[in-house]
């Protein structure tokens, strides 16, 4: 399973998220604490800066090079600050059939849309079911799929559930489209009699709002194969978050500094950035976390069950 990192809050140096903590995002490429897998198939990040010339447009960096050896990324991380971030380390099956290329890197951001998506997980029998998804997708969105991943199809399916995929969406609009997407996937899986374990943790961000779903289809029906022999631990299927004022090295450890009033920053990730997880909380399976900026710019955090009806 891939690793995902999302941030919304005070301006932060990318290096403080990507490199400096003891279980930093880049380190999770080869030393993920909660999942004993390597994530070597490339990385991408989208970073928004509310103070920039065009705050609705993210800075985008992608590379199939291993992030730990990427001098360009390290140099940029030392200089760039962001008020919102969505980053992804891609992990694929150890198989010669896996396709590694820029077209398969997350987060996905289609033309004209302001909403980006990163996925942590894998849909069982995706190649069998993807054509059943076409009737639920808008043609102008479907034609923008260029890669081979289930993740990009999920993104296109989600955008198709929005009345206007190019609009400046609110967190509740994003949440409704996310639920509709999971409902369609559930129904197609049922129609095709697919009941195999399939984690679908989704992270969506447009620079102002962030919505993440912690969700797994048929969690108890894991089928071992030649690549993965053991079902992931339940903790590794969760989404983790921490809130406060600013994330930095405080009192001898990397953590969010407690805010005197409402929290002004939040990190949501597939796993904490530190081995010590006492300052982090987890989103239960089958729940969604909403982050949206309030009138004073602070992110309001809300966790709700995912009811597919």
Whole-angstrom distance, CA of residue 309 vs CA of residue 224: 30
Residue whose C-alpha is closest to residue 269's, from 12, 11, 23, 10: 23
pLDDT digits (tens, 9 = 90+) for 53-91: 898 999 999 999 888 899 999 999 999 999 999 999 988
- pLDDT at site 296: 57
Mean pLDDT, rounded, of the chain? 90
pLDDT digits (tens, 9 = 90+) for 232-254: 777 788 999 999 988 999 989 99
Q: What pLDDT band is residue 298 in, cutting at 50, 70 and 90?
A: low
Exposed / middle / buried, residue 219 (Cβ in 10 Å: 0-12, 13-18, 19+): middle
Domains and CATH numbers, the chain: 3-305 (3.60.20.10)
Q: CA 67, 68, 69, 75: dihedral to nearest 10 degrees?
A: 80
Res 265 pLDDT > 60? yes
Q: State what percent of residues in the chain have pLDDT above 70.
A: 93
Residue whose C-alpha is closest to residue 235's, from 288, 280, 175, 186: 280
3-class DSSP string for 236-292: HHCEEEEEECCEEEECCEEEECCCCCCCCEEEEECCCCCCCCCCCEEECCCEEEEEE
Residue whose C-alpha is closest to residue 1's, from 106, 148, 76: 106
Concatenated DSSP letters for 107-129? SB--TT---EEEEEE--TTHHHH
């Amino acid at each position: 399973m891939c690793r995902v990192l999302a941030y919304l809050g005070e301006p932060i140096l990318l290096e403080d998220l990507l490199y400096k903590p003891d279980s930093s995002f880049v380190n999770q490429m080869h030393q993920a604490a909660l999942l004993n897998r390597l994530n070597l198939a490339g990385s991408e990040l989208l970073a928004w800066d509310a103070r920039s010339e065009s705050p609705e447009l993210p800075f985008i960096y992608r590379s199939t090079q291993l992030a730990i050896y990427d001098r360009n990324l390290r140099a940029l991380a030392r200089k760039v600050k962001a008020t919102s971030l969505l980053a992804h380390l891609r992990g694929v099956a150890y198989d010669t059939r896996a396709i590694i290329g820029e077209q398969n890197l997350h987060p996905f951001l289609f033309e004209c849309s302001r909403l980006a998506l990163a996925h942590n997980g894998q849909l069982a029998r995706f190649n069998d079911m993807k054509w059943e998804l076409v009737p639920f997708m808008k043609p102008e969105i479907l034609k923008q799929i260029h890669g081979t991943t289930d993740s990009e199809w999920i993104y296109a399916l989600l955008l198709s559930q929005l009345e206007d995929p190019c609009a400046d969406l609110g967190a509740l609009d994003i949440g409704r489209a996310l639920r509709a997407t999971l409902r369609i996937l559930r129904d197609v899986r049922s129609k095709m009699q697919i009941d195999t374990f399939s984690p679908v943790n989704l992270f969506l961000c447009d620079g102002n709002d962030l919505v993440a779903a912690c969700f797994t289809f048929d969690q108890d029906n894991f089928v071992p194969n030649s690549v993965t022999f053991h079902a992931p631990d339940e903790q590794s299927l969760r989404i983790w978050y921490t809130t406060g004022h600013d994330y930095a090295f405080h009192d001898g450890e990397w953590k969010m500094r407690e805010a005197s009033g409402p929290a002004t920053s939040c990190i949501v990730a597939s796993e904490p950035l530190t081995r010590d997880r006492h300052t982090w909380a987890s989103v239960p399976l089958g729940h969604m976390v909403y982050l949206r900026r309030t009138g004073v710019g602070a992110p309001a955090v809300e966790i709700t069950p995912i009811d597919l009806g």
